[in-house]
A and B are shown apart, each in its own frame.
Chain A
Amino acid sequence: MIAAESLIKQYGDTPVVDNVTASIQKGTMTTFIGPNGAGKSTLLSMVSRLLKRDGGSVSIDGMPMENFAEKELAQKMSILKQTNEMNVRLSVQDLVSFGRFPYSKGRLNEEDRKVVSDSIAFTELEEMKEKYLDQLSGGQRQRAFIAMILAQDTDYILLDEPLNNLDMRHSVQVMKVLRSLVDELGKTVVLVVHDINFASCYSDYIVAMKEGRVVKEGRTWEVIHPEHLKSIYDMDFQVQEINNQKICVYFS
């Protein structure tokens, strides 16, 4: 379990994340939703130590994050941000191999190589593993980064808007991969998603944020409700059940 306790982040006098307490259950997919500027990405960055927090604490499996050694933490939790601009030219294989750095510091052994090729297979990138990242489409690139995170083989996987810039087909592809991480490999996946219907169809839990605070959290089925959604986004929603999935209609 990841437990965030009264997390605070402020820039100047403006709080971006305002005293947020939230917990993430092991072996589930938890999605953070909310309008732009609600503090979702900031929260994720603090939980994953990419950003210093101004207050509060984070504990992983009951142990405060500070007590972990860097290497240990990198074997326990991984984070993928939404922009992944690279200054170096890497092939898919090279990139995914970096996922093994916490284990073998760039000297890959047999086991590392196996994990790398499994990760590439899992994200269906075998045919393009020799290709360079700048030769790939947006969806393929995104999958390559997910493969790297996979090779890192952590219990907790945090993703900040993994569907950014992806078309529908690729979004579904990525979400299916993430879902199978939870169902088949028992990983814990935490992500920030803007498309509420992806959150509704794939995640187990939803945490809704607004203006730096958590306004609603619970099982997906409970949170996806016209009233809750209206209070989160300040607009009207219709929620319809199609094939046992709650679909939100908000376009007009």
Chain B
Amino acid sequence: MDSKWKLMLIASLVAVLSILFLMIGADGNWEYVLPRRGRMLAAFALTGAAIAYSTIVFQTITGNRILTPNIIGLDSLYLLIQTFIIFVFGSLSYIMVQGNINFLLSTAAMIGFSFLFYKLLFQGEKRQLYFLLLVGFVLGTFFSSLSTFMQVLMDPNEFQNVQNRMFASFQRVQTDLLLLTGTAFAGLAFIGWRWRDYLDVLALGKDHAVNLGVAYDRIVRRLLILVAALISIATALVGPIMFLGLLVANVTYEMMRTHEHRWLLPAGMLTGMGALILGQIVVEHVFTFSTTLSVIINFIGGVYFLWLILKERKA
């Protein structure tokens, strides 16, 4: 089956899932159910697409299929920013209540951080992956510790507010952010789409990319900023999710079996949406809300992660 048909098949599956999600158990209460579920669906689509897109790009740049952008501590940074704002300004402050302002602030900080991270680590001659991982991991831990420090000093009621943002929640999606994040995502995806052929070459590794005339440093820097921006979109909408990107990206590679990003990227975005929608249907109708979507995703993703590591070790 060629890539075009596979993509169309995935697209139709996602469409069916979306319709199921909107319809099941609606009992004719359309005026209530449709707008509510529609907004959730939009949030799932945005989150799934943003995470899949950023993970595939990140894995292509780093040439590693078990890495996700979380490794450079973006999630912990998001939590640090949220904790800091609540700690300094309070949970009822303007920045906290105004979702859009909060989003722009967090995004700016995360992009700024990625930029610095890139400057410090990628500029040197030895772009050693393990060094990057280690520094990212250490920074992530540092951010978490700072957050914990502030959380300990905080008023318990305020801490409740921080806690709400600590775990991914698809039940309380920040729907007021949909318009802003949706526009931002469309813009980013459009910009990123122009680099799809460069991504194919970057997947060959740095030396080949330079040989083939890719301005490596410039392109990778831009892509990294793109990744940071996409991650902030997803995180702002639902909160930090560990394993979704890993799961979705690898399932996409397995399904598409191509190296061409013009197929991988759209397929990945659709798979990301599909995974979230399917997960939510299962949560609502199989588990009847006795568990949450992030638990399911992290469980499946975590098991898959272990399996990937074991498989890599054998190979």
Contact = CB atoms under 8 A, between A and B. Distances in A.
B64 interface: yes
Tier of interface size on chain B: 20 to 34
Interface in B181-216: 197, 200-201, 203-208, 210-215
Nearest to B259: A88
Given A52-B125, A79-B207, A106-B197, A101 B259 contact: no
Tier of interface size on chain A: 20 to 34
A88 B203 contact: yes
Interface string B242-277: 000000000000000101000000000000000000
Interface in A213-233: none
B211 A48 contact: yes
B207 A94 contact: no
Contacts of B63: 87
Interface stretch (A19-27, A69-77, A163-171): A69-77
Contacts of A79: 207, 211
Contacts of B39: none
A98 B199 CA distance: 12
Given A52-B125, A87-B64, A106-B197, A74 B204 contact: no
B213 A102 contact: yes
B65 interface: yes
A135 B172 CA distance: 50
Contacts of A86: 204-205
Given A87-B65, A88-B259, A50 B210 contact: yes
B259 A90 contact: yes
A81 B212 contact: no
Main SS of the interface on chain A?
A: loop
Contacts, number: 59
A182 to B, nearest CB: 20
A49 interface: yes
A89 B254 CA distance: 11
A4 B200 CA distance: 32
Nearest to A81: B207
B201 A98 contact: yes
8 contacts: A70-B214, A71-B213, A78-B211, A87-B64, A88-B259, A102-B212, A105-B197, A107-B197
- Report, nearest first, the 6 A-B pairs whose CB atoms are least far apart: A74-B213, A106-B197, A102-B213, A88-B259, A101-B212, A87-B63
Interface of A: 48-52, 70-75, 78-81, 84-90, 94, 98-99, 101-102, 105-107, 152
Interface of B: 63-65, 125, 197, 200-201, 203-208, 210-215, 257, 259
Given A89-B259, A94-B259, 14 more contacts: A51-B125, A52-B125, A70-B215, A72-B213, A79-B211, A85-B205, A86-B205, A87-B65, A87-B203, A87-B205, A88-B203, A101-B212, A102-B213, A106-B201
